[in-house]
Chain A
Amino acid sequence: MRLLLVTILTILFVTLQISLSPVVSICSILPNFILIFLFFIAFSVGQTCGMWVGFFSGFLCDMFDPPHFGLNLTLFLLFGFIVGSIRAKFYKDNLFVSLIIFVISIFIYEIFYTLLLWQFSPGVYFLNILRYSIPRVLYSSVIGIFLFPLLKRIPFLTVKN
């Protein structure tokens, strides 16, 4: 049941990212719906689920970005696995704690994304992190505040292993 639910939600969040995020963008800053969902799953369910959701959502995303195929795949996989691994060390039911870890983890993700995307143009790293990554982290965090409690209410989604 949970497998089906997670699969449907992954497809839904990838679609939201591809179709809805440009609509709600502010000054070309898009929120990252996939990372919000991926973080929630990895942090509340666990490492295995985070790893597979990361892999599946990364794969779907890269289908729509052929020139950089593998970039989202690698980063989402790592993100899901690492967040799933550190979950045991934190108190998961506290929204504030989840949010702090979410902000830190997606900021690290954005840094790695920028580094990998601009591997041949080192001059633009800092500029792009300042201009896009930081506002994007903040925007995604604000959306995360509203989405995390909603996702928590979905039955069967966070049932313990």
Chain B
Amino acid sequence: MLKGSKKSYFSSQNFIIFLILLLFSISSYVVKGEFKLGTVRNIASVLLYPSQKVITSTKNLFSVYRDNKVLRRKIAMISLEIQRCKNMKKENIILRELFGFKPILNFNLIPGEIIGKNPGLYNKIFIIDSGLKNGVKKKLPVIVAKGLVGKIIESTSNTSQVLTLYNRNSYVSVTDLRSRVHGIIKWQGGKFLILDDVSLHSDIKFGDTLITSGLGGVFPKGIFVGSVIKVSENPRKIVMQIDVKPFVDYSLLENVFVIVESKISHLIPYSKKDTLSVLLIHFDLFVNIEKPKGFSEVFMSRSKNFFHCSPEVIQQFFLNKEILNETLVK
């Protein structure tokens, strides 16, 4: 009797359907990335988008007043910082041109609100409310003010998925800001990230800041990633074991920015660039007068006479333009 009931159970229609579904799900897990689910994913995001948006908007309503207060203070501080940065950017463009470096790319930022996080055990993937309609595409880097968040791995018309650094599939090439040692940031479980591929006895210390190196072509150079919190050298291994704490607190993230590459910023012709022409005029004048303090030999570039000098000296030119003019007149 028992034997018979078992037999009928395993041959029942329900069990056969279960086996087919199980076979499908296991095979989909085994082939993973091989699946092309673009259309299905679009349908899923359309199904879930309205309810996701409602929940997120309701949640945000409660924090608007508090955020507003904090943001106003931040804006005041940041606008001062922007003024400084604008000056430094101008100087940087001029210096890069002087030393023959490629012009830096200009970037646009597309804001995105986090409307979901994947239901797994760990914060591996975020869903943001910017998609193809907003110009967000695959492989674009995602940042916040504190540093790197991750990159876009999927985009539908209204939403995109962000692969964070806390994911086994995430690898970021980084450089130590102090010693310029290169390495790869990855996650192998646990609370912190790991800096891999750093050979033994490399110059990495506790507290060092890591920035993106620009290698790999996905993340632009110079985005802050995290700081070194533990360095250990095991003589049996050929690489160092380094723990890194990211600057971004993933549990508190609400809004992010997607970096979209825009046109290369062409240098403005000298005659039209006020600050640069001031610099050139002064340099031309210097040829005929006594070599000023802080300058070394002359070199030729674009039919103009230039001096070699430290960036600090050039910075002084911009900051004390009037003083310089007075000095020259004298």
Contacts and interface: CB of A to CB of B under 8 A. Distances in A.
17 contacts: A15-B48, A19-B52, A19-B59, A19-B115, A28-B123, A28-B251, A63-B41, A64-B44, A66-B32, A66-B125, A66-B161, A67-B125, A67-B153, A67-B163, A124-B188, A127-B189, A127-B190
A114 B121 contact: yes
Contacts of A61: 118-119
Nearest to B28: A70
A143 to B, nearest CB: 14
Interface string A15-30: 1111111110100101
B48 A11 contact: yes
Contacts of A118: 189
Nearest to A63: B44
B256 to A, nearest CB: 14
B161 A64 contact: yes
A117 B163 contact: no
Interface string B106-131: 00000000011111111111010000
B116 A18 contact: yes
B204 to A, nearest CB: 23
A42 interface: no
Contacts of B27: 70
A138 to B, nearest CB: 14
Contacts of B168: 67
B26 interface: yes
Interface stretch (A47-55, A95-103, A149-157): A47-55
A132 B190 CA distance: 10
A25 B33 CA distance: 30
A64 B154 CA distance: 9
B180 to A, nearest CB: 30
A142 interface: no
Contact of A65 (B18, B28, B30, B120): B120
A58 B251 contact: no
Given A19-B55, A20-B55, A117-B121, A64 B22 contact: no
Interface centre among A21, A68, A117 (most CB of B within 10 A): A68
A124 B14 CA distance: 37
Interface residues of B, number: 50
Interface centre among A22, A69, A74, A132 (most CB of B within 10 A): A22
A12 interface: yes
B77 interface: no
Interface centre among B118, B124, B161 (most CB of A within 10 A): B118
B206 interface: no
B41 to A, nearest CB: 5
A147 interface: no
B166 to A, nearest CB: 10
A interface, size bucket: 35 or more
A18 B154 contact: no
A77 B32 CA distance: 17
Interface in A1-45: 11-12, 14-23, 25, 28, 30, 32, 34
A51 B17 contact: yes
Contact of A64 (B116, B121, B169, B251): B116
A124 B116 CA distance: 26
B88 interface: no
B45 to A, nearest CB: 7
Contacts of A17: 119
A47 to B, nearest CB: 6
A64 B33 contact: no
Interface string A68-97: 111111100110010000000000000000
Contacts of A68: 29, 32, 120
A21 B32 contact: no
Interface string A92-124: 000000000000000000100110111001001
